[in-house]
Structures are given as C-alpha cells and as structure tokens.
Structure 1
C-alpha cells in the first residue's frame, strides 16, 4: 500500500487527529490535482469521523471513513461487547482496499496507540504489521516522552511495523527550549534509529485549514509522501 499512511501515537491524546488534519490540509492546498482519502477504521464515540467530514470535502461516505463505529468511547472489544457486536476486520480491510484503489493518497488514523487493543487478540501494532501499512508515530512533547517512544518503537519492531518516522506534537504551548529538553530529536533518533520528521506547534485554532497547511509545510514530505 505505497500510497497509504497510518497515523498512530504513543497513547490516546498524543495528537493523531491533529497530525491527520495537518497532512490533509497540506495535501489539499499544495496537491489539489490529486485525490485524498481519510479513514478512521474503528471509532468508539463521537469525534474524528465527524471532524474530518466537517473540515474536508471528502468524496466518500461516513461508512467508508469509519466502517466500524461504536457508541461507547471505550476500547473496541469492550465497546463492541456492550452492543452485542463483533469486530469485523474483514469489513475494515475491504473498505481500506477500495479507498486505497480510488485515491492517490490515503490517510488512516488508528485508534489509541500502537499498543491499543483492536480485538481480544490483536493490537494496533499487530494490524499495522500484518497489513504492511507505512506508519508514522505521533509523540506528545511532555516529560516521559522519550521512554514512551523507546517502548513504542520496540513494540513496532516486534510486530514488524513499517515505521517510517516520528512526529513530535505540542499538546500545549511550548518554547523551543522546552521541546529540546523534553523531546530532543537527536536523542530520540539515537535510541530508535527512526527519523524525527518535525514538531507540530500548539494551535489555538486547530480547525483553521490555512494554518494547518502551513504547519504541514514544515514536515519532511519526502518521507511522508512515500
């Protein structure tokens, strides 16, 4: 899936949705002649799918964006059990293939982090590895981030995930010195041997498409564009 990029994170709230909107806004502004698709394959609770359809004109249905949708904002196995449903990964895979074939570039936002459960047996990392999805790891700029990165990269390698790069994300306003102290790119790259593609600044208006596209222009698109 050379035109598909999976966005995952170290944990819930790392900034996956923010990075996905940044990449989509950049793609729409600077590559308007090519087609873009966005997926949130499994969603628990209201949020990302609704945001993507509000921000972008997507030539796809909500069911194509999110094939599996559960009401409770819980881990999918638990949310599915509350509705007496199962996790139909075949449906997710088929929808992914259809969108991938119809789009020049497909962004896929995972749920939670690499270690988040999808079923009672599989995590996000397992699925990313089995489906051979080129993956970007979002890391929030905060104390403890280095340890989280090291652990997540180890999990990615164990699951044979094609981890292409790391993107740092300021979930609150940060000075350059704070970013360098909390998430030093050189140290992260030294431990993980994975390139840091950039750092997303905190935005007070995270739905401003012009600002999102501008933020996206500062990332390493040579790797992101696959």
Structure 2
C-alpha cells in the first residue's frame, strides 16, 4: 500500500490534471492493483464529481471526500458559514478505511501548500504531521521559479516528505517558454528537489489513454507509488 499527496504552489497549478493523469496511468498500466482517489476536503462542486465520472472507483462519495462544504472558499471560512467545524479526525479515519482496501491512494490537496485547512493548520502542516509523501505541482509561467523555491522552503519548515516537483503547462506553452520560465536544472539547484518532468498542455482531460501516456514520460521511478 502506498499513498501520495498531490499539492501545488497555488489553486490553479494543475493538481486535478496531474491526479487524473496519474490515476489513468495506474488503471491502464497496473489494472491488477486497487486504486483509490481522495479529495479529503472540498469546497464547492468540482473534483470529486470529476473523479466519479472518469473512474470506476469502489468508493462512496463520502470516502472520496469526507468533508464537503457548499461555498467555494477556504475550509475554515466555508465551514463557519455552515456552522460546522473542519473535522480532521473524520478525514483521518476515512483515509485509514480507504487505505485498508486499496494498494495505491492518490490524495489531491486543496489549494497550495500554504492554503489553510483550519484556522491553525495549512496543507503543509497536515502533510508533515501525517507523514504523507508529497509531489509539488508548479505551473509553467513567469514567477514559477520563485514560487517553487518558496513552497519547497515551506515544505521543509513543516517537515513534509517532498519526493519531487512536476512542472505543468496550465496553458499552451512553447519549448522556449518552458525552458526560460521553469528551467529544471535551476529549480533543482535552488530547491535541492528533483524535477520529475513537465506535463504539456492537455486540452482534452477526458482522454485517459493520452493522459496516461503523458504521465509515463515523467520520472516515475522517483515516486514510491510507481516502483
């Protein structure tokens, strides 16, 4: 059994695309292994519904997303609007339950590493406390180098087991733009974290075979779940 947390530098880094592609890779290339997907906390409709549509998961909606809030806001704010609390105990219990039935669990975090989960804890805090192997998604754009450096520093401060960085083209990018805005060697040198590759812009994220093929071109050996 292996678990991987997918987080990003911000809310539009491309976590859902990477999670979808990696799930497609596992279902196509390792169909004998039981795959689970979680979006532990979700505010507003979106990711949970997408995973239910694209994949045949032996999970209930509450096992994919233990905590669901209607307003598309940060969890502590969305919870307060509903006079509820962010019950991390429920999230942990659900994760353990899903772990008991699956060989691989992909967990898509909300927002970025610095996004608040409660009024006291961020995604980075939770990843560190729960000892979740984590991959950081960095969107290919101007300023990406600084974002990568800042987020890796936050991960280290919170003792996150950061296994690697994945560059992601959230919009169409040329090879020159990728090289200029997110040079892998420079990012690796500044962060001392391996860059596992770059996901090109994917217009049709429902084409699971294409998604799996793209993911297969990354350095998956560094991810313990793909060993």
Number of equivalenced pairs: 225
Moved over 3 A (4+): none
2:114 is aligned to 115
2:96 is aligned to 97
- Residue 8 of structure 1 aligns to a residue whose secondary structure is strand
- Residue 154 of structure 1 aligns to a residue whose secondary structure is helix
- Distance in 1, matches of 2:99 and 2:215, equals 22
- Distance in 2, matches of 1:65 and 1:198, equals 28
1:70 is aligned to 69
1:121-136 matched pairs, under 5 angstroms: 121-136=120-135
1:81 is aligned to 80
User: Could you list the runs of 5+ residues in structure 1 that have no partner in the other structure?
Assistant: none
1:4-43 matched pairs, under 5 angstroms: 4-43=3-42
Report the Cα offset of residue 61 of structure 1. Answer: 0.3
- Residue 110 of structure 1 aligns to a residue whose secondary structure is strand
- Distance in 2, matches of 1:47 and 1:224, equals 26
- Distance in 2, matches of 1:225 and 1:25, equals 17
Q: Compute the TM-score of the two structures, normalised by the length of structure 1.
A: 0.98
- Residue 180 of structure 1 aligns to a residue whose secondary structure is helix
1:71-220 matched pairs, under 5 angstroms: 71-220=70-219
- Distance in 2, matches of 1:23 and 1:112, equals 19
- Residue 164 of structure 1 aligns to a residue whose secondary structure is strand
Q: Compute the TM-score of the two structures, normalised by the length of structure 2.
A: 0.98
Report the Cα offset of residue 214 of structure 1. Answer: 0.8
Report the Cα offset of residue 225 of structure 1. Answer: 3.6
- Distance in 1, matches of 2:32 and 2:121, equals 37
RMSD (CA atoms): 0.7
Spell out, residue by residue over 1:128-162, the C-alpha distance to the aligned partner (whole angstroms, 9 max, x if none). 00000000000000000000000000000000000
- Distance in 1, matches of 2:184 and 2:220, equals 17
User: Could you list the runs of 5+ residues in structure 2 that have no partner in the other structure?
Assistant: none
Pair 1:55-2:54 in alignment: yes
